[in-house]
Amino acid sequence: MGVISVIGLEKSYGDIFALRGVDLDVGAGEIFGVIGPDGAGKSTLLRILATLLLPDAGSARIRGLDVVSDYELIRRDVGYMPGRFSLYSDLSVEENLRFFATLFSTTVEENYHLVSDIYRQLEPFSKRRAAALSGGMKQKLALCCALIHAPSLLILDEPTTGVDPVSRREFWDMLGRLRERGITILVSTPYMDEAGRCDRVALMREGRFIGIDTPAGLVSGFGRRLWTVRGSDMFALLSDLRANPAIDTCFAFGDVHHVTLRDEEYTKRMLEEYLRHKGHAGVSVDDTPPTVEDYYLDRGRAEA
């Protein structure tokens, strides 16, 4: 039996459909990522699983317990970190941790070993008000607060949003160590590049999953040629690429454009020739392996 089992989950807010029939199975000890842009429905799904929101239809179970009828039992075993600031701003670092321990009828002393790895970094600031912490520190404290009652499942809603890149990396390292202790982790993120830190991911778009697999499994299903194109005028390059009938999709990807083809006979040399003709000098076209983001853009377009 999986730790999380979701079938046909639906939720709307008035006439906004946030979940349009979601199925999900998460196994014990997995880091499972729910990845999608703002508004995709990630928070709604995670809040239902954390028993904080009622679904309209479908079922969701945590270790066989129903999120609606068995919510009290589930809460004892689940640590939830909401997307927005969950700490008490006026309480100190230490007081926040004590408060969350008390909420679950335990003490910091009893379960300190569960958070010591992370909390040690906060200890120099233990008397500081939570409001005065940096983003990365707040996120570490919120994780400690979600862990202090010894849950076996962590549900983390966008824990790395708005956090600096170094703290993001550190945070994922911490999740890796928690997984080694047997904790199952369901984590949402809008950052496609974080897919690689998960065992499996579900890509979410407009209340639906458009792909569930390992990150490697997703990109191996991409199944099309993908090129990067670079030049000196990237803006003009994008519109000229999009105007080429042999090109299917063209997206700006950092400092390059990613291109897929409609015409499989079309060669790199033909594209370089076309771009030269359009007045672009020093253009380079190269093969590139697809990323999860390429998969997301391609699938999203196919389903639009």
Q: Per CB under 6 A, which region of 34-42, 60-68, 103-111, 217-225 contacts ligand ADP?
A: 34-42
Cα 34 to chain centroid distance, Å, stands at 5
Segment interacting with ligand ADP, rule: CB under 6 A, options 40-48, 88-96, 98-106, 265-273: 40-48
Residue 53 vs 238, nearer CB to ligand ADP: 53
Pick from 4, 24, 40, 226: which binds ligand ADP (CB under 6 A)? 40
Name the minimum Å distance from CB 52 to ligand ADP: 12
CB of 68 to ligand ADP, least distance (A): 18
By beta-carbon proximity to ligand ADP, the closer residue of 39 and 196 is 39
Query: Is there binding between residue 21 and ligand ADP (CB under 6 A)?
Result: no
With binding defined as CB under 6 A, does residue 146 bind ligand ADP?
Answer: no
Q: Find all residues with CB under 8 Å of 97, minimum gap 6, and list them.
A: 108, 115, 119, 141, 144, 145, 148
44 near ligand ADP (CB under 6 A): yes
Q: Which of 42, 138, 140, 205 binds ligand ADP (CB under 6 A)?
A: 42
Residue recorded with tokens 């549900």 = 155
Should residue 43 be labelled a site residue for ligand ADP when binding is judged by CB under 6 A? yes
Contact 160, 100 (CB under 8 A): no
Q: Is 14 left (phi over 0), alpha (psi -120 to 50) or beta?
A: left
Q: Which is nearer to ligand ADP, 18 or 292 (CB)?
A: 18
- Contact status, residue 183 vs residue 255, Cβ threshold 8 Å: no
Q: Which range of residues in 42-50, 85-93, 119-127, 170-178 is near ligand ADP by CB under 6 A?
A: 42-50
User: In 3D, which of 98, 95, 24, 105 has the Cα closest to residue 58?
Assistant: 24
Q: Which of 7, 16, 103, 132 binds ligand ADP (CB under 6 A)?
A: 16
Q: Which of 3, 4, 6, 18 binds ligand ADP (CB under 6 A)?
A: 18
Burial readout 227-249 (b: 16 or more C-beta within 10 A, e: otherwise): bbbebeeeeebbebbeebebbeb
54 belongs to the binding site for ligand ADP (CB under 6 A)? no
In whole angstroms, give the CA distance from residue 224 to residue 32.
Answer: 26
Both tokens of residue 214?
């390992």
The amino acid at 237? L
- Contact by Cβ (8 Å): 207, 19: yes
Which residues inside 69-128 make contact with ligand ADP, applying CB under 6 A? Answer: none
Strands, sheet with 256-261, edge to edge from the N-terminal-most edge strand: 247-253, 256-261, 227-230, 284-287
Residue 15 as a binder of ligand ADP (CB under 6 A): the answer is no
Total residues contacting ligand ADP (rule CB under 6 A)?
A: 11
| Residues of the shown chain interacting with ligand ADP in the complex, contacts defined by CB under 6 A | 13, 16, 18, 36, 38-44
